Structure 1
Amino acid sequence: MFLNLAFLRCGAVPLAALLLAGCAGFSADGGFGPVADATRGRLGQPALWVRSDADRTAVRERTRELLAQPLDAASAVQVALLNHRGLQAQYADLGIAEADYVQATRLPNPGFSFSRKTSGDELKIERAVTVGFMNLLALPFAARIEQGRFAQTRLSVADATLRRAEAARRAWVRAVAAEQAARYAEQVRRAAETGALFARDLARTGNVSVLDHAREQAFYADAAAQLARARERALTAREQLTRELGLWGDDLAFRLPERLPDLPPSRPSLQDLEGYAISNRLDLQAGRAQLDSLSRSLGLTRATGFISVLDASYLFNSETGRPRETGYGIDIEVPLFDWGGARVARAEYVYMQAASRLAEQAINARSLVRETYAGYQARYDIAQHYRDEVVPLRKRIGDENLLRYNGMLVSVFELLADAREQINAVNAYLDAQRDFWLAESELRSALGGRLPDTATASAASDAPQGQ
C-alpha cells in the first residue's frame, strides 16, 4: 500500500508531523509500576522486576534479611515475589506488550525500488519511492488496539503475581503444619517407646498379659511408622515451599516457625462477596480489557475488509536518448473473489468467543466465591470446635484418669489407651488448623488477593489501568 510522494509534500506532511508527535515511547519501568502498586496495595508486599545487576543485588540483600529470621507467612510471600523465576518470566510479557504498543505507533518506513535495464547501447533506469498508505490510515486504530492489549497484559501480570503470592502462602502453611506434625509425631513415638518398654518389663515379671504387652508393642511400631510418614511429608512440603520461594544454594537452610498462627478471635463479617469479587478480581478486569481490544480490532477489520490493498507510487524513470519520465501509479486490489467476508466473520467469532469466555469466567468466579467462603466458614468452625471442645475434653478425661491411676482405680494400660485418644484429638486439631489457613488463602485468591475488611475504600483503585 503506497502513497504518492507529491501527496507527502502537500497534505501528508502536516499529518505525518502530527502522527510523529503522538508516537509512544518506552516507559522507564516497562509498565511494571501499576503492577507493583496493585501488589503492594493488595498484599502489603513489594514486587520487583529484576532487570539489572543493581536489582539482583537488592533482591539478594533483601532475601538474606528475610531468611535471617524464622520465615513467617508475610516474609514467605515477599521472598516468592522477589525470587520466583517463573514470575520474572511473566514480567517479560510487559516488555513484549509495550514493545508491540510502541511499534504500533510508529509511522511505516518509506520504500525505494530501483531497476536497471540495458538493450544494446540503450540504458533504462526505473525508480519509485513508496510510503504505506493504508498502514498510515490505520495507524491510530492499530495504536489504540495495542494500547488496550498492553493494559490487558498489565492486569494479567498483576493477577499472576497475586496468584503466585497465595500459592507461596499455602505452601508455607503446609510446610509449617507438616513440620509441626512431625515434631508431635516424634513426641508420640518417644511416649510409645516408653510404654512399650514398661510393658515389656511388666510382662517379664508376669504382671501383665501377653495381649496387653502386644498391644503396647503394636502401638509403638505404629507410632514409629507414623513418624516416618510425618517426616516424609515434612520434607515434601518443605521442597514444595522451596520451589514456590525460588530459593537455591545457601538459602535452602531457611527456618520456619515451630507452629502455625492461632485461629483469629472471630471470623470477619464478609458481605456481598460475589459483587466484591467481580469488581476486585484482576483476571476479570483483564478479560474486559481483552474484549474492548477485540471490539476495536473488529471495527478495523470491518473498515478494511472490502479494500485492504491500495498502493500509490511516485515514479522517476530515465532512458537513453529520451527525456526523463515522472508520474505516479496506483495499485488497488479488485475484490473479485475475496470480498473480505471471511476476515470479518473470523473477527466477529473471535469477539463472540471472548465475550462468552468472559461471561463463563464471571459465573465461575461467583460460584468459586460461594464455595470457598462456605469452606472457610466450615473449617473455622471445625478448628474452633477442636480447640475449644474436643482437645480440652480429652485433656480433662486424661487428668481424671491420672487421678484414678494414682488411686489405683485404673491400670496403667487404661491410662495409656486414654493417652492415645488424646493424641488423635491433637492430630485432628493440627489438621483442622492447617485446613483453616489454607481455606483463608483460597478465599483471598477467589476475592482477588485480599479480604474485604482489609481492602481500601475503592476495590479497583490500585488496579493497573490502561495508558
Structure 2
Amino acid sequence: MRTEALVIALLAGTLLAGCAQFSPDGGFAPVADTARERLGKEATWLRTDDERSAARARTQELLAQPLDVDAAIQVALLNSPSLQAAFANLGIAEADYVQATRLPNPGFSFARKSGDEVLKIDRAITIGVMNLLALPFAARVENSRFAQARLQAADAVLQHAEATRRAWVDAVAAEQAVRYAEQVRHAAETGALFARDMARAGNMSARDHAREQAFYAEAAAQLARARERTISARERLTRQLGLWGEDARYRLPERLPDLPGTRPEMQDLESYAIAQRIDLQAGRAQLESLARSLGLTRATRFVSVIDVGYLHNSENGRRETGYGIDIEVPLFDWGGARVARAEAVYMQAAAQLADRAIDARSSVRERYASYQARYDVARHYRDEVVPLRKRIGNENLLRYNGMLVSVFELLSDAREQIAAVNGYLDAQRDFWLAEAELRGTLGGRLPEGYPSDRTSPTERSGQ
C-alpha cells in the first residue's frame, strides 16, 4: 500500500507539472506590449513569410517620406537582424521550459545469457525517481527563466530604439552641418576671389590677401571633414535600421527639431527609473529563479540518483518478476559543493542587481544634469550668441555701406558669425543626444507632461 501511494503521488505531481505546451506567439506578446506602451511602435518577431512580407511593405511605406525619428525607430524595430536574434532567445527559453515539464523517458535493459543448456534472459524497465520528484520544481525554475527571457527581449527593444534615436540625431545633425559648411565654403570662395581682385588692383595688402585665401582653404577642409562625418553618421544609422541596397538611400529631414519652449523640470526621477527599467526587472526575475534553483539544490543534496525499475527475468522458460532500486550512496560527496556553488551564484546575482540599481540611480542624476546643462547652452546660443552676432553683422553692413568700416572688418565679422552658428548647431545636437540618453536611463519612456513630448519631432522640426 505504501508503494502504491508513493507511485500515485509521483504520477499526480508529474501530471500537474507536465502539461506545458508551446504558446502561439512564443511568449512575444509582453515584448510587443512594451514597445507599444513605451515607444508607441510595433515590434514584430518575423517567423513566417507573411510576417516578413508585411514588415517589408510597412518599411517601404515609411521610407517613401523623409525619415523622422519616430519612423526611424519603427523601421529599426521591423528590420534589425540583431533584434530578431534577441527574439530567438524567447524560442530557446520556451523550449527549455516545455522540455522541463516533460516526463523523463523510461530506460529499458535486455540481457541474454546461455551456457550448459541454460538460457537466461533478463529484462528491466527503469525510471529516475529523483527526476520525477524534481519535475515540478524544475518546471517552475525554467518558467522563471522564460519570464526573464521575455524581459530581456523587451529591454533589447528599448535599448535598440534609443540607440536608433541617437544615431538619427547624429545623422541629421551631420547633414545639417554639411549644408551650412557648403554655404560657408561658397562665401569663403567669393571672399577669396574678391580679395584676389583687390590685391591685383593694389587695394589690398599681401597679408590680407593671404588671410582670405587661408580662410577659404580652411573652409574647404572643414567641408571635407563634415562630409566624412556625414557618411559615418549615416552608416551608423543604416546599421541600426537594418537596411541595405536601395533601401539605404532613405531621406532625412533637413534640420533637427527645435528646442522645447521651456526648461523641463522633473521630480523623483530615481524612483521612476527604478520602477521603469526593464533590465532591473529582469535582474529581479533572475534572482527569484536562482532562489528557486537554490531550494531545489538543497533538497537534492544528499540523494541525487534514485532509479526504480520493473524486472522480468526468465531462465529455461522459468519466469521471475519483481522490482529493483538503484541508489547513489553519499559516502564521499554529500552535495555540499553543489549547495555552496548555488549559494555563491545567488549571492553574485544579488550583488550584481544591487550594483545595477546604484548605477541606475547615479546615471539618472548624471544624465538629467547633463540634459539641463545642454539645454541651457543651446538656448543661450539660440537666444543670445547667434542674435548678437547677427545684429553685429547687420550693423557692420550698414557701416560698410556708409564707408565707415573696411571690407576686411566685414569679412572678419562674417567669420565670427559663422563660428557662432556652428556652435549653436553643435549645442542643438548635443541637447537631443542628451535627451535620448536620458530616455534610455529612465527605461525608454519619459514622465508624463515632459515638455519635449508635447509635440511630435516631425511637428517640431517644421517650426
TM-score exceeds 0.5: yes
Pairs within 5 Å for 1:416-431 = 416-431=411-426
Amino acid at match of 2:391: R
Structure 1 residue 337 corresponds to structure 2 residue 332: yes
Where does residue 463 of structure 1 map in the other structure?
Answer: none
Pairs within 5 Å for 1:48-127 = 48-127=44-123
The CA distance in 2 between the partners of 1:12 and 1:271, in whole Å, is: 60
Structure 1 residue 365 corresponds to structure 2 residue 360: yes
Amino acid at match of 1:65: E
Offset from partner CA, 1:411-442 (integer Å, 9 cap, x none) = 11110110110100000000000000000000
Amino acid at match of 2:116: G
For residue 284 of structure 1, the aligned residue among 280, 283, 293 is 280
Where does residue 176 of structure 1 map in the other structure?
Answer: 172
Unaligned runs of 5+ in 2: 451-463
Where does residue 395 of structure 2 map in the other structure?
Answer: 400
Amino acid at match of 2:301: G
Q: Secondary structure at the match of 1:338?
A: coil
For residue 130 of structure 1, report the CA deviation from its aligned partner. 1.4
Unaligned runs of 5+ in 1: 456-467
Where does residue 374 of structure 1 map in the other structure?
Answer: 369
Work out whether residues 268 and 453 of structure 1, in 8 Å CA contact, stay in contact via their aligned partners in 2: no
Structure 1 residue 273 corresponds to structure 2 residue 252: no
For residue 205 of structure 2, the aligned residue among 185, 193, 209 is 209
Work out whether residues 185 and 230 of structure 1, in 8 Å CA contact, stay in contact via their aligned partners in 2: yes
Offset from partner CA, 1:198-245 (integer Å, 9 cap, x none) = 000010010111111111000000000000000000011011111010
The CA distance in 2 between the partners of 1:12 and 1:327, in whole Å, is: 15
Work out whether residues 377 and 427 of structure 2, in 8 Å CA contact, stay in contact via their aligned partners in 1: yes
Are the structure 2 counterparts of residues 361 and 89 from structure 1 closer, same or farther at C-alpha, using a change threshold of 3 Å?
same
For residue 307 of structure 1, report the CA deviation from its aligned partner. 1.1
Where does residue 353 of structure 1 map in the other structure?
Answer: 348
Q: Secondary structure at the match of 2:109?
A: strand
Amino acid at match of 1:370: R
Where does residue 457 of structure 2 map in the other structure?
Answer: none
Where does residue 238 of structure 1 map in the other structure?
Answer: 234
For residue 454 of structure 1, report the CA deviation from its aligned partner. 5.9
Higher relative contact order (CA 8 A, sep 6+): 1
For residue 132 of structure 1, report the CA deviation from its aligned partner. 2.0
Q: Secondary structure at the match of 1:57?
A: helix
Amino acid at match of 1:169: R
Offset from partner CA, 1:69-106 (integer Å, 9 cap, x none) = 00000000011111010110010000000111111111
Structure 1 residue 313 corresponds to structure 2 residue 309: yes
Where does residue 443 of structure 2 map in the other structure?
Answer: 448
Offset from partner CA, 1:108-159 (integer Å, 9 cap, x none) = 1222111111113221110111122111111110011001001111111111
Offset from partner CA, 1:223-276 (integer Å, 9 cap, x none) = 000000000000110111110100011101100000001011123331101111
The CA distance in 2 between the partners of 1:403 and 1:190, in whole Å, is: 23
Pairs within 5 Å for 1:150-169 = 150-169=146-165
Q: Secondary structure at the match of 1:131?
A: strand
The CA distance in 1 between the partners of 2:113 and 2:449, in whole Å, is: 77
Work out whether residues 270 and 453 of structure 1, in 8 Å CA contact, stay in contact via their aligned partners in 2: no
Where does residue 16 of structure 1 map in the other structure?
Answer: 11
Identity fraction in percent: 74
The CA distance in 2 between the partners of 1:216 and 1:10, in whole Å, is: 100
Amino acid at match of 1:230: A
Work out whether residues 391 and 425 of structure 1, in 8 Å CA contact, stay in contact via their aligned partners in 2: yes
The CA distance in 1 between the partners of 2:105 and 2:35, in whole Å, is: 40
Offset from partner CA, 1:365-415 (integer Å, 9 cap, x none) = 111111100100000000000000000000000000000000000011110
Paired residue total: 449
For residue 12 of structure 1, report the CA deviation from its aligned partner. 3.0
The CA distance in 2 between the partners of 1:214 and 1:314, in whole Å, is: 102
Please identify runs of 4+ aligned residues in structure 1 that moved more than 2 A.
9-22
Structure 1 residue 218 corresponds to structure 2 residue 235: no
The CA distance in 1 between the partners of 2:16 and 2:368, in whole Å, is: 51
For residue 192 of structure 1, report the CA deviation from its aligned partner. 0.3
The CA distance in 1 between the partners of 2:406 and 2:21, in whole Å, is: 84
Where does residue 465 of structure 1 map in the other structure?
Answer: none
The CA distance in 1 between the partners of 2:24 and 2:86, in whole Å, is: 18
The CA distance in 1 between the partners of 2:294 and 2:16, in whole Å, is: 27
Structure 1 residue 29 corresponds to structure 2 residue 25: yes
Where does residue 462 of structure 1 map in the other structure?
Answer: none
Where does residue 384 of structure 1 map in the other structure?
Answer: 379
For residue 196 of structure 2, the aligned residue among 197, 200, 204 is 200
The CA distance in 2 between the partners of 1:147 and 1:181, in whole Å, is: 51
The CA distance in 2 between the partners of 1:110 and 1:313, in whole Å, is: 9
For residue 312 of structure 1, report the CA deviation from its aligned partner. 1.6
Where does residue 304 of structure 1 map in the other structure?
Answer: 300
The CA distance in 2 between the partners of 1:10 and 1:392, in whole Å, is: 89
